[in-house]
Chain A
Amino acid sequence: MGATETYSRGVRFAVERPGTVILAVAMALLSLDLLMKLLGMELFFLGVKLLGGSIGTDAFGTVLLDGLTVGVSVGLAGIGLSMTYSILSFANFAHGDTLTAGAFMGWVVAFGLAGLLGATGDVTPGTLVLLEATPEIGIIRTPLIVVVGMVAAGVAAVGLSLLLDRIVYRPLRSADGISLLIASIGVALALRYLIAFVFQTSSKSVTSTPLQVTLLGQISMSGNQFFLLVVGAGLMLGVHVLLQYTKLGKAMRAMADNQDLARVTGIPTERIVRLTWIIGGGLTGVAGFLIGLERGVVIFNFGWLLLLLIFAAVILGGIGSIYGAMVGGIVVGVVQAMSQIWIPSELTRAAAFVVLIVVLLVKPDGIFGGVTTA
Chain B
Amino acid sequence: MSATDSERSVRGALREMVTDSDLRMIAVTIAAVYVLLVGVAFYFDPDQAVNLSATYIQSVTIFIGGYAMLTLALNLHWGYTGLFNIGVAGFMGVGVYAMAVLTAPVNPATAGATPGFGLPLWAGLIGAAAAASVVGLLTALPALRLRADYLAIVTVALSEIIRLLLNSQALSEVTVFGATFGTGGASGINYAGPSPIIAGTLFDTLAGPVTGALLAVGVDPRTWGIRPSNFEGMIYGVVLLVATAGFYWLLFRTGNSPFGRVLKAIREDELVARSLGKDTRMFKIKAFMVGCALMGLAGALWFGRGGFTSPTQFRPNITFFVFIALIIGGAGSNTGSVIGGAVFAGFLFYLPQQLGTVIPQALPQGAGAGDIAAAVAALGGGDVLPLVGYTVSNISRLRFVAIGVILVWLIQRRPDGLLGHRTEPASSIDINQRPGTGGTDGRPAAADGGEERE
Q: List residues of A whose CB falls within 8 A of some B CB.
A: 90-91, 124-127, 129-130, 132, 168, 171-172, 175, 177-179, 181-183, 185-194, 196-198, 200-201, 308, 311-312, 315, 344, 346-347, 349-350, 353-354, 356-357, 360-361, 364
Interface pair B165/A347, CB less than 8 Å apart:
yes
Complex Cα–Cα for A312 and B157 (A): 9
CB distance from A167 to the nearest CB of B (A): 8
Interface pair A197/B398, CB less than 8 Å apart:
yes
Interface pair A172/B167, CB less than 8 Å apart:
no
Interface pair B169/A344, CB less than 8 Å apart:
yes
Given contacts A189-B400, A350-B164, 9 further A-B contacts (CB under 8 A): A90-B149, A126-B373, A130-B373, A171-B412, A181-B149, A183-B408, A187-B408, A190-B402, A315-B153
Set of chain B residues within 8 Å of A129, measured between Cβ atoms:
373
Interface pair B161/A353, CB less than 8 Å apart:
yes
Interface pair B400/A190, CB less than 8 Å apart:
yes
Set of chain A residues within 8 Å of B406, measured between Cβ atoms:
186
* Top-6 shortest CB links A-B: A190-B404, A126-B373, A186-B407, A189-B404, A193-B400, A186-B408
| Cβ-closest chain B residue relative to A194 | B401
CB distance from B281 to the nearest CB of A (A): 15
Interface pair A186/B153, CB less than 8 Å apart:
no
Proximity string of chain B (159-180) to chain A, C-beta cutoff 8 Å, 1 when within and 0 when not: 0110011011110000000000
Proximity string of chain B (115-156) to chain A, C-beta cutoff 8 Å, 1 when within and 0 when not: 000000000000000000000000000110010111011101
Interface pair A182/B156, CB less than 8 Å apart:
no
Q: Given A179-B411, A346-B169, does the pair A353, B149 have CB atoms closer than 8 Å? A: no
- Pick from A168, A182, A349, A350 the residue with the most CB of B within 10 Å: A182
Interface pair A308/B412, CB less than 8 Å apart:
no
| Cβ-closest chain A residue relative to B163 | A350
Interface pair A361/B373, CB less than 8 Å apart:
no
Set of chain B residues within 8 Å of A353, measured between Cβ atoms:
157-158, 160-161, 164
Complex Cα–Cα for A193 and B394 (A): 10
Complex Cα–Cα for A178 and B152 (A): 10
Interface pair B371/A361, CB less than 8 Å apart:
no
Chain A at the B interface: mostly helix, strand, loop or mixed? helix
> What number of B residues sit within 8 Å (CB to CB) of A?
45
Set of chain B residues within 8 Å of A172, measured between Cβ atoms:
411-412
CB distance from A185 to the nearest CB of B (A): 6
Interface pair A357/B412, CB less than 8 Å apart:
no
Interface pair A183/B400, CB less than 8 Å apart:
no
Q: Given A91-B149, A344-B169, does the pair A191, B404 have CB atoms closer than 8 Å? A: yes
CB distance from B329 to the nearest CB of A (A): 14
CB distance from B126 to the nearest CB of A (A): 28
> B392-421: which have CB < 8 Å to A?
394, 397-398, 400-408, 411-412, 415
Complex Cα–Cα for A189 and B317 (A): 9
CB distance from A324 to the nearest CB of B (A): 16
| Cβ-closest chain B residue relative to A201 | B397
- Pick from B150, B407, B411 the residue with the most CB of A within 10 Å: B411
Q: Given A186-B404, A186-B405, A354-B161, does the pair A360, B170 have CB atoms closer than 8 Å? A: no
Interface pair B374/A126, CB less than 8 Å apart:
yes
Set of chain A residues within 8 Å of B402, measured between Cβ atoms:
190
- B17 contacts A by Cβ under 8 Å: no
Set of chain A residues within 8 Å of B152, measured between Cβ atoms:
91, 181
| Cβ-closest chain A residue relative to B165 | A350
Interface pair B153/A356, CB less than 8 Å apart:
yes
Q: Given A179-B415, A182-B327, A356-B157, does the pair A347, B403 have CB atoms closer than 8 Å? A: no
Complex Cα–Cα for A187 and B401 (A): 9
| Cβ-closest chain A residue relative to B406 | A186
Select one of A177, A182, A350 contacting B323, CB under 8 A.
A182
Complex Cα–Cα for A191 and B408 (A): 12
Complex Cα–Cα for A188 and B408 (A): 10
